[in-house]
Amino acid sequence: MTPELVAEHGLTPFEYERLTTMLGRTPTFTELGIVSALWNEHCSYKHSRPVLRTLPTEAPWVLQGPGENAGVISIGDGLAVAFKIESHNHPSAVEPYQGAATGVGGILRDVFTMGARPIAMLNSLRFGSLDSARVRYLFGGAVKGIGDYGNAVGIPTVAGEVVFDPSYEGNPLVNAMCIGIMQEHELIRAQASGVGNPIFAVGARTGRDGIHGATFASEVLTEESEAKRPRVQVGDPFTEKLLLEASLELIRSGHIVAIQDMGAAGLTSSSAEMAARGDVGVVIDTSRVPVREEGMTPYEILLSESQERMLVVAKRGHEDGVRAILAKWDLAAEIVGEVVDEPVYRVMEGDRVVAEFPGSRLVTDCPVYHPEAREAPEMAELRARDVHAIAELPEEADPAWTLERLLSSPTIASKRWVHRQFDTTVRTNTVIGPGAGDAAVLRIRGTRKGLAAKTDCNGRYVYLEPRTGGRIAVAEAARNVACTGARPLAITNCLNFGNPRRPEIFWQFKEAVAGMGEACRELNTPVTGGNVSLYNESPLGAVYPTPVIGMVGLLEDVENAVGSAFRREG
């Protein structure tokens, strides 16, 4: 085990020493890979967790807050809404089509693993100037990936935002949000339990795509990032549709006690996190995992991020029932492990132990950092600048010239080219779709209720004054939802920032989160979950701090929904 190999896996010397202390020995290559996957920023939130704890997360209508696959709120009459937003920024920067498509697939799985049927998708997209051929390639590929995946699964994309700014030239932001509906009693959590219960791998087979994808998402983008294209996952929306139906049937069947998406860090993350939540031990046998390539090692099987896969803890004695449901949907279902009463996370390859960690410490022993936070001196100077001292252009004397310049700006101009590639009305629940209102509105079948939803953020505001910008992002989302006639209920957030080890970046992060928290308390819209995406930097610099807000609101009578267009003369 060399320092070079440890560094290649993204661990600092301090973290490696912590690992050896936990094990009491030198880790195996497979154990190093496991810790690399679970202790990276994307999975561990090691720089952001203390700050996130300051956000308001509770309300009488919150059934599930942060810490699960998605947040869940009650909307009355026994109905509940699951929703979440996540990023797929780094994958979309090197392979925009698959990066964006698998972002859609991942957020769909986060919602239906809670027991909710997805009813709508939203997105928040940010790219550099369209004058750049590279940006046009990234933008076009990402939009097509979002459309192709969502359309094939049959979930409408109903709202979003698109922003173009030089800040995102080297590091685009591709954030995807999903909303699902369920009965309150159908809520299920990813918490392993029941000693002797079998653990199933279900869905697609495991391949070599996406290995170390979560680690890649925890790095600054460089000129060498293009070579990491194989770390980008490859999606199959038709398998996703089968997995969606099979998972919901499994949840309602009574055959299972827990279900978890094998997303970031794959089998490693899903199995370790379910065990930690349930405070139980698990044993996984990689030789029993269905694979689609010969000769895969335990390291590759554990870290693969092949898409459309789930890890399921079934009730002992219900194995045949699980297999029957998966066979009905033409999906694989193999027992790959079991829940044990021994406090251990153990990985086998047949009869050989390839990795073993004490109890839940694989998850709980990840270090938590408290970086220095300090505002960059030039920011105060920038805020103090007198904008009225900037000389006007001669053309500004003509208001028509100014109006034309504004309307032709890609950020302000019509986004019809984008949303025409999305099926916005499939499932026929869309009451207000893209371009027809300040937020999307969906009817809830069998009731008079409607849901309103919107994503919002202004990165420039957050860059200039992070705390105020954080407040504005929440307030803007709430206003847009309220303008449809809905009462804002709760938010999910996707916090896109640069390298947290830089004091000025971490200051932006802390201040923006503080501002969001203040606005959420004032508006009584708790945070139910979300995603933190750090290291959004390239050789061109960091992106604007962009805490995207996904707001959900309720209309008691969807017939009262209000769009943004004039309805009648007079």
Q: Which residues are catalytic?
A: 42, 88
Output DSSP code: residue 66.
B
Q: How many whole angstroms from its chain centre is CA 389?
A: 43
Q: Of 281, 64, 86, 277, whose CA–CA distance to 188 is shortest? A: 64
Residues 6+ apart with CB under 8 A from 439: 159, 432, 452, 453, 454, 480, 481, 483, 484, 486, 551, 553
Query: Do residues 347 and 302 make contact, with C-beta atoms less than 8 angstroms apart?
Result: yes
Containing 184, the helix (H) or strand (E) segment is: none
State the angle between helix axes of 466-482 and 503-523 in degrees (0 to 180), rounded to the nearest 10: 40
**How far apart (Å, rounded) are the C-alpha atoms in residues 331 and 304?**
18
Q: How many whole angstroms from its chain centre is CA 109?
A: 10
DSSP labels, 462-498? HHH-HHHHHHHHHHHHHHHHHTTTPEEEEEEEEEE-S
Q: CA-CA distances (angstroms) from residue 49 to 367, 369, 373, 459, 509?
A: 11, 9, 15, 22, 12
In this structure, which amino acid lies at residue 558? V
Backbone phi, psi, residue 464, to 5°: -75, -40
Q: Characterize 75-111 residue by residue with b for buried, 16 or more Cβ atoms within 10 angstroms of its Cβ, and e for exposed.
A: beeebbbbbbbbbbbbbbbbbbbbbbbbbbbbbbbbb
**SS3 of 418-457:** HHCCCCCCCCCCEEECCCCCCCEEEECCCCCCEEEEEEEC
Backbone phi, psi, residue 472, to 5°: -65, -40
